[in-house]
Structures are given as structure tokens and as C-alpha cells.
């Protein structure tokens, strides 16, 4: 038995194995917590090229948000900052299981049966699965150091899955010298929905001054619901409870030696999957017989050693990463006809992903004529996805309706304890790589950069399933299948950078990204010809960028043009019996422009914004065969919104009592398809937010209104034309902060 996918959760899934401120990571200094200082445009230090450097010197597209910047806009999760990033569309759906589309590089705005096209990292720990994704970690940004989004393929330095780009989350490090604490509480309510709130705390403790420190963070947050389920009678049923935190330890036994440890744990529990069914139940309503609850958890243990040497820095990391999920979906409307009289018919999907990552790299000294980084990488990740279909009365229904066809006792035989499907889908992926990048400064103006990554990967998948659904689709009650795919490859990168003076930089970049392939563990038939495996796909990105500073660094104007050539695209498909598989087909050409500006008009008033134009379309038709529909050349890729616009105004009234700060922001996402074959259009919405803060001493209070226009824009319509995830309606709230 392999996979069927009918709605939002993948039934037997995985079978086929400065936006805010600028494109290149402009950073606006956030308001101080005591007497405010003047606002100025500054840059954030990032590790986009595996070494600390100013974001504005990177020969590539980087958006970096510091913790202060994220706090100034009230950001808590991905929906708050990715929607402000040039070239990035956040396809918000089930909390903890949404997807990200960067520069249109996507074949689905949901969670496909392939590896993701966007890579995710937390403190350098990769959290992208080799096959079907067991959740997308959306870590709360309280006390974060920064979040960095790298746009364009990052295969050379960040490995598989980073075809579109990568999202890198960096927790704040312990302070070895100073005690510190931060307490925060928020209350909020949704127009036409429920109420919610949060409590968060951070404590930094230097155990041994300048030698050993511990930093702990805990947060408890309930996001209000706004989708009511008329079938269960539950109003505002899609509330989400986010709980978790982290502990970080930093030990500096010698001046040039640092050893750090990170423990992170977060869960996201949603009471009922929050899509609306406007044509069935009405706006902001759905209709199921049971709550479609979900739970996603992320767990990390990571230890890191940094050793400064006279000629560079040696870094070694060892990490354990684990993700778990549990989802329940109501399939009564889709499969209930198979079991007359039995209701409800549900599918539970418990899943787990766990593995180890090891990495060692050496980075030469910075500000040298010749700079380089070289590293070794190893990751082994295992997945275990189960699908359990059940429903009260199923066993008796099968016996009553199918015994004439299959004989007496078929109910108990094919659906013991009312379980009509019991499938286990383990996957094991392994990736080994050696990578490097070197830059040579020909003179003070010209720099050339070359890099590459040699990799070897293998994926093994199997499937053991039993039950009535196997009997219907395969003619047997129990079946097992297995498959393996392996590949080796090399991913190059090259760039030329021209810096005629300190206020201007231009670069030309060619880079590649790739994604792991895998086996199809379902049987090929004359009606559905399924390949035994699907190969890795890759793309090439050609990019030109300009970074410029004007008026004594009070004005930044940047622009980036890109062209992406994507071939042998991994295309998730279904057989005539709704079993999932993947094939390589078609090609796409994505091109566009990202422009941004940030202007500190006065010491108190700053304006910033960005605009993205994107054309992402098939250049070669998808013609998979086997009864599948042909997707013609010229079709827009899923999630590839043509226009993305974002603007921000920040005014800090430094001379007024309590030093008020006003923040007004705007985000626009144009329409895009949700999938190739079905689904509702996404985007076509505009979000305006406003915030005002007052602070005195260690205290601060902030009032906010989000989505002032009360838009109900669709953030994800991949499920089907009748089910839509929407932006959170107009929300009012207050936040209280105390820092010491």
C-alpha cells in the first residue's frame, strides 16, 4: 500500500520518499528601552558565507532581521517577518506545517511528497527532512538574536533543499558578564473571533564572570481562533497553543576557545485545522464531524566548539534533531461512501523525524587578500510516518456490505477494531559532503569568488500496510514494498564583486541548488506507470545586484535582478486510485527584480520599503503520462505571486514624555495559483498594521492593531477549491514588557 492524498493532510504521505527594511538586509536600529537615541540605518552581521561579515558586503541576496527589529513590529513567527521579505511568499496553513516559496521555486504551496525547496536551520542545525516534511519549525522569535533569509540557491554552503533559499534562525547567546531578565505579557483579540495572549520570560545568568553563563527562555502563547466549525459546534476552533523555550550554555575556558550548548523544545497544538469552506459552510466557517486537531514538536540538542587560531577559526558541531507530529483529519465526506452507516471516518497521522548532524569547518581570517572557508558535513535522518484510518462501525459496515463479494468474516479480517488502514512508512536518508568557498581580492575594488560542494546521498524507504483500503486498491489485505535511491554530484558557485568606494557595491553571481531524489514504493501498472525512483533536481541562478549608500549612510538604495533555470522538476502526482508518487518532468524559467530603499529622514523618522516583480512559469510542459493531466508551458508556478510590496514607517518622538514610538507597516501579495491541478488562488490581499509604544525606565507598553482593513486573503489554497486558509482577521492587543 502506498499513499492516497485527498485533502490537507497527506494520506500515506512521504511514500515517494530586509524584506522589512531591504533586500540585502538593511537594519533599522530599534528603539532603546530607556531614553531613546536617534534612529540610524545600520547593517547586521550575518554568516551567509559561513563567516561573520556585514550583510551589505555579501555577494548575494540576504535579508536579516535583528531581535530588536522583530520586536519593534511585534513579530512572533514566520508570518510576521517572511511576509515582509522580498521574493518570499509564506503559504500559511496548519501552524507548524506551512511552506515557504522563494522566488517562485515550488511545485506546491502545501507539503509535497518530496524534499522541501527551502531549507531551515536553527543555530546551524538543519531541520529539513530527506522526504516528506514532518513539520516546518516556526520558532517563537522572543529573545532571538536574528533571523536571516538567504534568497536564491544556497547549495554550495548549505546543501540539499536550499534550491530556493534558506531560513536561518539564530538564538540570542548568553552574556558572560551581565545579569539580565526580560518579562513580557500580551493580550489580543480577533475581530469576529476569539481572544488569546502570551507570557514570556528570559533570564541570563553569568555563573562565572567572563567564563561561564546560562541563558534560559520560556514562552506560553495562545493564538486566538477565528474559524468556527458548524459540524462540531465549536466557535473559534482553530486556536493554537505554542509552548516551549530553550536553554543555552556558553563556556569560555580560554580567550580563544568557546564551547556552547543549545537545548530547544517547542510544541504547537491546534484545536482544529483552521481552513474555511466558504461554499459549504460560509466565510470563516468549516464543517466536519470531529475536530481536526494537530500537534507539532521540535527538539534540538546541539554542542559547538569554536577555536580561534592565528590563521583562522576552527568550528565543530554535533547535533541531534527531532520533529514529531500528530494530525487527525475527517475523511467522512471523501471516503464515507465506502462504509455506509459508519461515521465519522477519520485518518490519524502520527509521524517522527530524528537524526544526527556533524559538521566541521575552518574559516580563514577576514579582511585578507585571500579568504576561504572549507568544511565537511554529515547528516543522517530517519522518518517514521504512520497512517491509521478508522471509524466507529466500520467493521460492521464492511461485513454487511462486502461479505457477498469477499466472503463472510471480511469485516473483522480487513478492519479489526474498526481500523480500515494501518500503514507504516519508514525512510532513512544520509548525506555526506565536502564544501568550500574562496574569495580573492585582486585589488581594493575587485573581488572574485569561487565555491563548490561535492555530495553523496542515499535514501531508503519501505512501506508495510494492511487493511480494507489495501484490499480495494491492490487486491490484497497486507503488502510490503521497499526501494532505494542514491546519487552523487557537485554544485559550483562563482561571483565577481566590484566595490569602487565604501558607498557602492555591484556583483554578478552564478549559483546552483539541488534537492534529494528518492524511491517510489508503489507498484507500476499499465493504467498507472510509476517510475521506480525519481532523481534529484537542480537549478541554476544568475544574479546581478547593486548595494548603495547615500547622504552619509542615511539612505540605502539596492536592487537585484535574477534569472533561474530549473530542469527535471520533481512533480508530485497521484495514480487513478489516489496513491502518491513523484516523477521528474518539465522545466521552468523564473526571473524578476527585487528593489528596496531605507531612508532616515531625520533622527526620529525612518521610511523603508521593498518591491518584488516575479515571472515564474513552466518553459516545458509537464506531460507525466499515465492518465495524468498535462500542464502546459507558460503555466505559473504555485505560490509565484507576480508582485510583492512592503513598506514601513517608524517615528520615535524622543523629546515627548514616555518617548512614544509609532510604527506603521503595509504588505501586499498579488494572486498566485495554489497548485497545478486543483486548489484555490492565493494572495491578492493587503495587510496594514499599526503600533504605538511608550517606555519609562525598564517598563514598556505597546498597543497594536494588525490587519486594519480586516482582509480575509487566502494564504494557502493547495487543499482544494473549497478549502482555504486565510490571514488572521483584524486583531487588537496590548503588550507589556519589563527588562532589567
pLDDT at 720: 59
Q: Is 145 exposed, middle or buried (0-12, 13-18, 19+ CB in 10 A)?
A: middle
pTM: 0.90
Does residue 9 have a pLDDT over 50? no
Rg of the chain taking only CA atoms, in angstroms = 26
Give the number of other CB atoms < 10 A from CB of residue 552: 9
Q: pLDDT tens-digit profile of 112-159?
A: 778 889 999 999 999 989 888 898 889 999 999 999 999 999 989 998
Alpha-carbon span 212 to 261, nearest angstrom: 12
Question: Who contacts 338 (Cβ-Cβ below 8 Å, separation ≥6)?
Answer: 345, 420, 468, 472
| Residue 659 main-chain phi, psi, to 5 deg | 45, 60
pLDDT at 29: 37
Considering only CA atoms, which of 543, 484, 564, 542 is closest in space to residue 516?
484
The DSSP annotation for 580-645 comes to EEEEEEEEEEEEEEEEEEEEE-SSSEEEEEEEEEEEEEEEE-B---TTPPPB-TTPBPTT--SEEE
Find the helix or strand (DSSP H, E) in which 653 lies: none
Mean pLDDT, the chain, integer = 89
Q: Is 400 exposed, middle or buried (0-12, 13-18, 19+ CB in 10 A)?
A: middle
pLDDT at 48: 64
Mean pLDDT confidence for 101-116: 86
pLDDT at 529: 79
pLDDT at 361: 96
Whether 200 contacts 221, CB under 8 Å:
yes
pLDDT at 272: 97
Assigned C-alpha cell, 214:
546560562
Alpha-carbon span 99 to 106, nearest angstrom: 9
Tell me 340's DSSP state.
T
Q: Which residue has the cell 552574556?
A: 175
CA atoms within 13 A on the CB side of 603: 6
Q: pLDDT tens-digit profile of 11-51?
A: 333 333 333 333 334 333 333 343 344 444 656 676 666 77
> Which structural domains are found in the chain, ordered by start?
26-739 (2.40.170.20)
Q: pLDDT tens-digit profile of 174-206?
A: 999 999 999 999 999 999 999 999 999 999 999
Does residue 445 have a pLDDT over 50? yes
pLDDT at 112: 75
- Which residues make beta-bridge pairs with 569? 585
Does residue 513 have a pLDDT over 60? yes
Strands 285-286 and 228-229: parallel
Q: Which residue has the cell 585589488?
A: 443
Whether 718 contacts 674, CB under 8 Å:
yes
Considering only CA atoms, which of 667, 561, 548, 643 is closest in space to residue 599?
548
Considering only CA atoms, which of 146, 151, 170 is closest in space to residue 162?
151
Of the pLDDT bands very low, low, confident and very high (cuts 50, 70, 90), residue 501 is very high
Alpha-carbon span 127 to 298, nearest angstrom: 9
Alpha-carbon span 453 to 437, nearest angstrom: 9
Alpha-carbon span 536 to 457, nearest angstrom: 10
pLDDT at 5: 35
Mean pLDDT confidence for 78-82: 94
pLDDT at 643: 97
Q: Is 549 exposed, middle or buried (0-12, 13-18, 19+ CB in 10 A)?
A: buried
CA atoms within 13 A on the CB side of 448: 2
Give the number of other CB atoms < 10 A from CB of residue 434: 13
Amino acid at each position: 500500500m502506498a499513499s492516497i492524498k485527498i485533502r490537507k493532510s497527506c494520506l500515506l504521505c512521504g511514500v515517494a520518499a530586509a524584506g522589512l527594511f531591504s533586500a540585502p538586509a538593511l537594519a533599522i536600529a530599534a528603539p532603546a528601552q530607556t531614553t531613546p537615541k536617534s534612529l540610524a540605518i545600520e547593517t547586521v552581521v550575518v554568516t551567509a558565507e559561513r563567516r561573520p561579515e556585514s550583510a551589505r558586503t555579501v555577494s548575494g541576496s540576504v535579508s536579516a532581521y535583528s531581535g530588536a527589529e522583530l520586536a519593534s513590529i511585534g513579530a512572533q513567527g514566520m508570518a510576521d517577518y517572511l511576509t515582509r521579505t522580498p521574493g518570499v511568499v509564506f503559504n500559511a496553513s496548519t501552524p507548524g506545517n506551512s511552506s515557504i516559496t522563494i522566488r517562485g521555486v515550488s511545485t506546491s504551496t502545501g507539503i509535497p511528497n518530496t524534499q522541501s525547496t527551502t531549507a531551515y536551520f536553527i543555530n546551524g542545525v538543519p531541520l529539513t527532512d530527506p522526504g516528506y516534511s514532518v513539520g516546518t519549525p516556526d520558532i517563537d522569535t522572543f529573545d532571538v538574536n536574528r533571523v536571516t533569509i538567504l534568497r536564491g540557491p544556497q547549495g554550495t554552503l548549505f546543501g540539499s533543499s536550499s534550491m530556493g533559499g534558506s531560513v536561518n534562525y539564530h538564538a540570542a547567546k548568553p552574556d558572560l558578564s551581565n545579569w539580565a531578565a526580560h518579562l513580557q505579557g500580551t493580550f489580543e483579540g480577533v475581530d469576529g473571533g476569539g481572544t488569546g495572549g502570551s507570557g514570556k520570560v528570559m533570564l541570563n545568568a553569568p555563573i562565572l564572570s567572563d567564563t561561564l553563563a546560562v541563558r534560559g527562555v520560556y514562552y506560553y502563547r495562545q493564538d486566538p481562533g477565528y474559524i468556527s466549525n458548524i459540524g462540531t459546534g465549536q466557535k473559534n476552533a482553530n486556536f493554537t497553543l505554542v509552548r516551549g523555550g530553550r536553554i543555552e550554555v556558553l563556556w569560555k575556558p580560554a580567550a580563544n576557545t568557546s564551547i556552547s550548548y543549545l537545548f530547544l523544545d517547542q510544541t504547537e497544538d491546534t484545536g482544529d485545522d483552521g481552513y474555511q469552506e466558504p461554499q459549504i459552510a460560509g466565510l470563516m466557517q468549516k464543517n466536519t464531524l470531529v475536530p481536526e486537531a494537530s500537534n507539532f514538536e521540535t527538539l534540538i540538542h546541539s554542542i559547538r566548539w569554536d577555536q580561534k587560531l592565528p590563521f583562522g577559526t576552527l568550528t565543530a558541531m554535533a547535533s541531534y534533531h527531532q520533529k514529531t507530529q500528530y494530525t487527525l483529519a475527517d475523511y467522512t465526506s471523501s471516503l464515507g461512501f465506502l462504509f455506509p452507516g459508519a461515521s465519522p471516518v477519520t485518518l490519524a497521522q502520527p509521524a517522527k523525524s530524528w537524526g544526527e548532524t556533524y559538521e566541521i569547518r575552518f574559516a580563514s581570517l577576514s579582511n585578507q587578500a585571500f579568504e576561504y572557508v572549507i568544511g565537511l558535513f554529515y547528516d543522517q535522518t530517519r522518518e517514521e510516518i504512520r497512517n491509521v484510518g478508522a471509524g466507529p462501525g466500520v467493521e460492521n459496515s464492511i461485513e454487511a456490505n462486502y461479505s457477498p463479494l469477499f466472503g463472510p468474516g471480511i469485516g473483522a479480517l480487513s478492519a479489526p477494531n474498526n481500523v480500515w488502514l494501518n500503514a507504516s512508512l519508514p525512510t532513512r536518508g544520509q548525506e555526506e559532503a565536502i564544501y568550500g568557498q574562496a574569495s580573492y581580492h585582486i585589488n581594493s575594488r575587485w573581488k572574485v569568488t569561487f565555491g563548490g560542494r561535492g555530495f553523496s546521498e542515499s535514501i531508503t524507504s519501505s512501506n508495510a500496510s494492511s487493511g480494507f483500503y489495501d484490499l480495494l486498491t491492490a487486491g490484497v489485505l497486507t503488502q510490503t514494498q521497499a526501494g532505494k535511491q542514491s546519487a552523487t554530484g557537485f554544485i559550483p558557485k562563482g561571483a565577481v564583486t566590484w566595490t569602487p568606494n565604501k558607498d557602492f557595491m555591484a556583483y554578478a553571481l552564478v549559483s546552483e541548488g539541488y534537492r534529494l531524489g528518492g524511491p517510489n514504493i508503489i507498484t507500476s501498472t499499465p493504467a498507472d506507470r510509476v517510475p521506480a525512483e525519481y532523481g534529484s533536481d537542480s537549478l541554476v541562478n544568475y544574479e546581478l545586484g547593486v548595494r548603495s549608500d547615500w547622504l552619509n549612510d542615511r539612505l540605502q538604495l539596492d536592487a537585484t535582478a535574477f534569472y533561474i533555470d530549473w530542469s527535471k522538476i520533481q512533480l508530485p502526482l497521484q495514480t487513478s486510485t489516489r496513491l502518491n508518487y513523484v516523477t521528474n518532468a518539465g522545466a521552468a524559467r523564473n526571473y524578476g527584480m527585487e528593489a528596496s530603499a531605507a531612508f532616515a529622514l531625520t533622527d526620529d523618522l525612518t521610511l523603508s520599503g521593498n518591491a518584488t516583480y516575479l515571472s515564474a512559469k513552466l518553459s516545458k510542459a509537464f506531460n507525466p503520462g499515465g492518465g495524468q493531466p498535462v500542464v502546459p508551458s507558460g503555466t505559473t508556478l504555485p505560490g509565484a505571486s507576480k508582485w510583492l510590496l512592503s513598506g514601513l514607517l517608524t517615528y520615535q518622538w524622543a523629546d515627548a514624555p514616555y518617548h512614544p514610538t509609532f510604527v506603521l507597516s503595509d504588505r501586499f501579495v498579488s494572486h498566485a495559483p495554489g497548485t497545478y491541478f486543483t486548489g484555490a488562488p492565493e494572495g491578492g490581499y493587503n495587510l496594514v498594521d499599526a503600533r504605538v509604544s511608550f517606555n519609562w525606565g525598564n517598563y514598556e507598553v505597546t498597543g497594536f492593531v494588525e490587519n486594519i482593513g480586516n482582509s480575509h486573503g487566502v494564504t494557502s489554497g493547495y487543499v482544494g477549491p473549497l478549502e482555504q486558509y486565510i490571514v488572521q482577521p483584524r486583531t487588537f492587543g496590548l503588550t507589556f514588557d519589563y527588562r532589567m
